[in-house]
Chains A and B, each alone.
Chain A
Amino acid sequence: MSELANAFVTALKLIFTGDPEVLAIAGRTLAISLTSTLLAALMCVPLGCFIYFHSFRGKGLLISVIQTFYSLPTVFVGLIVFITLSRAGPLGGLGILFTPQAIVVGHVVLIAPLVTGLTISALGGVSPEIKDTAISLGATRFQTVRTILVEARYATLTALMVGFGRAISEVGIAIMVGGNIRGFTRTLTTAMSLETSMGNIELSMALGIILITLALVASILVNRLQRR
């Protein structure tokens, strides 16, 4: 129990004394997760809309496949991205293996199905009466789509929150394609894994507490945004 209490004290100390290395790691973690979430949003929200508003053969199957990929194992994504970005691999020429960008690539692959699938669910959650009302009021197809999108915006934001949560908390991809390089690709989760393996349990716990605090702040911000 005292180990837990000490970890809290260590965490508070690290945060309030502004330990430069810990702050850099926390900032890097946040930047990587936010970038991944933003990129996934830019690609997958429109993709989700496209799938939702179009009828085509195999749509149900496609949605099932997307939902299956919600549980993509992070180490598997890490492995695929590693093989692809390795110098011996197809995109080796980019030379981005073991950089923060490589982690972002991995995170986008990881959360793309989540964001796409949850966007589809968000749109599906809009009451059909709204669509009917819009059409009965003489809305064009474009206006109807827009009305549904506006109605679903908070649920879509939740989809992004879930994606962000998965990205910031995962360790498999960050360690495999980031490499946990000090001062360059070390994130909160890889630092925790390393510090634990080096026997610094309290520091590791403290980093975990910082990570949860970051997630808390993000969720409060989103909640405030939703209340406006």
Chain B
Amino acid sequence: MSRPPAFLSVAILLLALASLLPACRGSAGQLRLATTTSLYDTGLWEYLEPLFEDEYGIELHVLSAGTGKALELGKRGDVDAVVVHSRAREEQFVTKGYGVERVPFAYNHFLIIGPESDPANISGAGPEAAFAALMAKGETDEDIRFVSRGDDSGTHGKEKAIWASAGYDYEVVRASRSWYVESGSGMGTTLMMADEKQAYTLTDIGTYTTFESDLGLVPIVDEGDALLNVYSILVSTRATNPAAASSMVEFLTSEQTQALIGTYGVEEHGRQLFTPYAREDM
């Protein structure tokens, strides 16, 4: 029985590879941040990450998750801070003692986008009236569809809020006919699904702009108070590294970063993706 030394060398190789995995414990110089997918998919975090790391010497780990999941991770203390866009739930997060405070740092707008032909004829309407028309016409016209995120994200929350202010019970909307499609996915995937189905959907302008060149859908409704979209950062009360989280708050609200957020993507897309806004009352 001559067991070939190959077995041994393979085992050694495996152990060598295993040692390449970085050390596991979160160190003091590490910040873990969960961010909403709509912000991540625009590439903003990839842009800001090296700037933050260089300035503060803190290693930044960014997780992309919907607002619901991001808040859950923050509540559990699995991330130090969350960046989300759902005011009511953020305030609840702070009231319940899971977060220190809510710091808004940027905003943009939501859009209702759809096929250029606008089969539901909602162009020029307000968001509530547009939703009401989609519901009424979607029930009868097979060409009219709406793709919802359906994933408990901030965008999904905004959609539910618009249904509510339009006077609909969301469960009734959900239970209605095949015109209402729930993607259960992030913003990017939902946009592509809406494009494939030539459907309407609600999107933040940042993600839409990033995907615009690949989409055959155009903005149909872009005005209305209900479409305001504010991004805030909240530090978890169970943060492992609260100091690093505070540094992130300081970084995002600093004059320099605010200016960078305001110009992010303008050159590439010819449109402002985010308006910097570090003020308490949004």
Enumerate chain A interface residues (CB-CB to B < 8 A): 27-28, 30-32, 34-35, 37-38, 86-88, 92, 94-101, 104, 146, 150, 179-182, 184, 194, 196-199, 225, 228
Q: How many angstroms between the C-alpha atoms of A199 and B14 in the bound complex?
A: 35
Say yes or no: is B240 at the interface (Cβ < 8 Å to chain A): yes
Q: Inside 8 A of B240's CB, which chain A residues have their CB?
A: 87, 95
A98 is contacted by which of B78, B186, B189, B191 (Cβ under 8 Å)?
Answer: B78
Say yes or no: is B192 at the interface (Cβ < 8 Å to chain A): yes
Q: Inside 8 A of B77's CB, which chain A residues have their CB?
A: 87-88, 92
B214 is contacted by which of A32, A35, A104, A199 (Cβ under 8 Å)?
Answer: A199
Pull 22 A–B residue pairs with CB atoms less than 8 Å apart, ordered by A: A28-B21, A31-B18, A31-B20, A32-B21, A34-B17, A38-B11, A86-B76, A87-B78, A87-B238, A94-B25, A95-B24, A96-B24, A98-B32, A98-B78, A101-B21, A184-B22, A194-B64, A197-B41, A198-B41, A198-B43, A198-B188, A228-B4
Contact of B76 with A88 in the complex, beta carbons under 8 Å = yes
Q: Which residue of B lies closest to A42 (CB)?
A: B11
Q: Which residue of B lies closest to A224 (CB)?
A: B6
B 1-14 binary contact with A (CB < 8 Å = 1; else 0): 10110110011001
Q: Which of A99, A104, A225 counts the most chain B CB atoms within 10 A? A: A99
Given contacts A31-B21, A94-B25, 16 further A-B contacts (CB under 8 A): A31-B20, A32-B21, A35-B18, A87-B76, A87-B77, A87-B238, A94-B24, A100-B21, A100-B22, A100-B24, A179-B61, A181-B61, A182-B46, A197-B186, A199-B191, A199-B214
Q: Which residue of A lies closest to B75 (CB)?
A: A88
Q: How many angstroms between the C-alpha atoms of A37 and B14 in the bound complex?
A: 9
Give, as a whole number of angstroms, the nearest-CB distance from A105 to chain B. 10
Give, as a whole number of angstroms, the nearest-CB distance from A127 to chain B. 17
Give, as a whole number of angstroms, the nearest-CB distance from A160 to chain B. 10
Contact of A197 with B37 in the complex, beta carbons under 8 Å = yes
Q: Inside 8 A of A34's CB, which chain B residues have their CB?
A: 14, 17-18
Say yes or no: is B52 at the interface (Cβ < 8 Å to chain A): no
Q: Which residue of A lies closest to B63 (CB)?
A: A179
Q: Which residue of B lies closest to A146 (CB)?
A: B1
List the 9 closest pairs (A to B, CB-CB), nearest first.
A87-B77, A35-B18, A197-B188, A101-B24, A88-B76, A179-B63, A38-B14, A181-B61, A31-B17
Q: Which residue of A lies closest to B30 (CB)?
A: A184
Give, as a whole number of angstroms, the nearest-CB distance from B16 to chain A. 9
Knowing A35-B17, A88-B76, the reply to whether A225 touches B22 (Cβ < 8 A) is: no
Knowing A86-B78, A98-B63, A99-B24, the reply to whether A35 touches B6 (Cβ < 8 A) is: no
B 28-65 binary contact with A (CB < 8 Å = 1; else 0): 00001000010001010010010000000000011110
Give, as a whole number of angstroms, the nearest-CB distance from B246 to chain A. 19
Q: How many angstroms between the C-alpha atoms of A46 and B188 in the bound complex?
A: 46
B10 is contacted by which of A86, A97, A225 (Cβ under 8 Å)?
Answer: A225
Give, as a whole number of angstroms, the nearest-CB distance from A88 to chain B. 4
Q: How many angstroms between the C-alpha atoms of A30 and B14 in the bound complex?
A: 10
Q: Inside 8 A of A87's CB, which chain B residues have their CB?
A: 76-78, 238, 240
